[in-house]
């Protein structure tokens, strides 16, 4: 907080409705998606996301901090996530060649297989629980608005 705002204008009805709906989505959607994906071999959303980003990276490898920021996770959070994935054999870690402080997280073949096994239900959940409800709206415009959210100015 830089300045303490004296009496900000209260929310109008539409604004309030939007805020409440989005807050609800933030709480409910991740759990819903997770639950939809909970087949035999549940892959939690965070771990799924990490595998996904790795699969899209050149050589299926990324530095820890890149991966963390791609997943919107703190670096320490990512350390632990990768550790979990490593014990399952889905990811391995290698020291970075050009900077021995750094590590690469690397998607293993098993990890790729696991991701491919999960993505259809992940994708279906996204469509069914989320995108479905935005049919007919201008998605690109909406995406631009959401991309700006969080920035102050």
Q: Is residue 54 within 8 Å of residue 68, measured between CB atoms?
A: no
Phi then psi for 105, rounded to 5 degrees? -90, 130
Cα–Cα distance measured from residue 86 to residue 127, given in angstroms and rounded to the nearest whole number: 30
For DNA, give the closer residue by CB, 63 or 129. Answer: 63
Residues 6 or more apart in contact with residue 111 via CB below 8 angstroms: 51, 54, 55, 85, 89, 90, 91
For residue 92, the minimal CB distance to DNA (Å) is 11
Interaction pattern, residues 3-22, with its own copies; x per rule: CB under 8 A: -xxxxx-xx--xx-xxxxxx
Task: Tell me which residues in 2-61 interact with DNA (CB under 7 A).
Answer: 31, 44, 46
Output DSSP code: residue 40.
Answer: T
Q: Is 96 in the site for DNA (CB under 7 A)?
A: yes
87 binds, among DNA, its own copies, none (CB under 5 to 8 A by kind): none
For residue 59, the minimal CB distance to its own copies (Å) is 22
Q: Which stretch binds DNA (CB under 7 A): 18-26, 69-77, 108-116, 128-136?
A: 69-77
């Amino acid at each position: 907080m830089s300045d303490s705002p004296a009496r900000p204008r209260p929310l109008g009805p539409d604004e309030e409705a939007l805020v409440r709906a989005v807050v609800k989505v933030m709480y409910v959607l991740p759990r819903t998606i997770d639950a939809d994906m909970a087949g035999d071999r549940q892959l939690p959303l965070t771990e799924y996301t990490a595998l996904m980003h790795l699969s899209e990276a050149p050589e299926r490898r990324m530095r820890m901090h890149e991966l963390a920021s791609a997943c919107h996770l703190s670096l320490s959070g990512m350390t632990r996530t990768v550790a979990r994935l490593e014990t399952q054999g889905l990811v391995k870690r290698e020291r970075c060649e050009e900077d021995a402080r750094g590590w690469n997280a690397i998607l293993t073949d098993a990890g790729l297989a696991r991701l491919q096994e999960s993505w259809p239900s992940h994708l279906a959940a996204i469509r069914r629980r989320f995108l479905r409800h935005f049919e007919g709206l201008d998605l690109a415009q909406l995406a631009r608005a959401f991309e700006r959210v969080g920035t102050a100015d």
